[in-house]
Amino acid sequence: EIVMTQSPATLSVSPGERATLSCRASQRVSSDLAWYQQKPGQAPRLLIYGASTRATGIPARFSGSGSGTEFTLTISSLQSEDFAVYYCQQYNNWPPELTFGGGTKVEIK
Amino acid sequence: EVQLVESGGGLIQPGGSLRLSCAASGFTVSDNYMSWVRQAPGKGLEWVSVIYSGGSTYYADSVKGRFTISRDNSKNTLYLQMNSLRAEDTAVYYCARGILTKWELLEKWGQGTLVTVSS
């Protein structure tokens, strides 16, 4: 099983600042990496796939990078609506299986 | 409008069975990849199962042999039959639709239904 590790567990950021979230895979997953945002009481929302492609309707302030085992989600200038938990997810498996990281909570500093 | 509405959650004793439903509107379940993902209270996301448009099914090791994913094309509804339930199955269960060509990219989610396994 591929294990996904996210850091930090909590990130305290002021509105308007940049946030950088990390995700590490226990083995290479190529660029088969997605990021999701989840707000309290809501279902997750797909932000990024293919490590760096924004999903439909996702603002340009969200960007993803990395390949292999190391990945980064960057939020260039945090808006109030961006305070949430972010999960990475790998999908480089056969037989089919998805694994998620433990999440990074982005909170207001 | 594309919508997914889960139902069927509740309190169930360990060892019991429950069937979750996910009613879809705005698209055809059988033409899409459909997954179940769960989230234990205060915890992260865990993928549970997927059914391909062609009918193939796959499961997480943690539920293999106990859970069954299926769909009813006439009702445009996805199901998750859960047997031999354990305390560790307690979670909010979400159904989700994959992007047309990539089942792994979960682009549309329901609001979730809570399953509590406890005596």
pLDDT in tens, B22-71: 999 999 999 999 999 999 999 999 999 999 999 999 999 999 999 999 99
**B87-108 mean pLDDT:** 95
Cβ neighbours of B110 in A, within 8 Å: 43
Strands (E), chain B: 3-7, 10-12, 18-25, 34-39, 45-51, 57-59, 67-72, 77-82, 91-99, 102-109, 113-117
* Measured CA distances, B26 to B1, B29, B76 (Å): 5, 9, 10
Residues B19 and A75: their CA atoms lie apart, in Å, by 39
Per-residue tokens: A105: 């909570």
Q: Do A45 and B47 touch (CB under 8 A)?
A: no
Residues A100 and A71: their CA atoms lie apart, in Å, by 13
Q: Are strands A104-108 and A10-13 parallel, antiparallel or unpaired?
A: parallel
Residue of B45, B50, B69, B99 to mutate when probing chain A, most A C-beta within 10 A = B45
Residues B7 and A105: their CA atoms lie apart, in Å, by 28
- Check if the beta carbon of residue B28 is closer than 8 Å to that of residue B18: no
- Tell me what pLDDT residue A93 has: 86
Look-up: residue for tokens 């990539």?
B102
- Tell me what pLDDT residue B100 has: 78
* Measured CA distances, B54 to A61, B31, B39, B51, B71 (Å): 37, 8, 27, 8, 12
**B93-107 mean pLDDT:** 94
Q: Do B47 and A99 touch (CB under 8 A)?
A: yes
Cβ neighbours of B109 in A, within 8 Å: 43-45
Chain B positions touching chain A (beta carbons under 8 Å): 35, 37, 44-47, 50, 58, 60-61, 94, 96, 99, 102-107, 109-112
Q: Do A98 and B110 touch (CB under 8 A)?
A: no
Cβ neighbours of A94 in B, within 8 Å: none
pLDDT digits (tens, 9 = 90+) for A65-96: 999 999 999 999 999 999 999 999 999 988 89
Exposed (0-12), middle (13-18) or buried (19+): which is B81, by Cβ within 10 Å? middle
- Tell me what pLDDT residue B72 has: 98
Q: Who contacts B89 (Cβ-Cβ below 8 Å, separation ≥6)?
A: B38, B63, B82, B115, B117
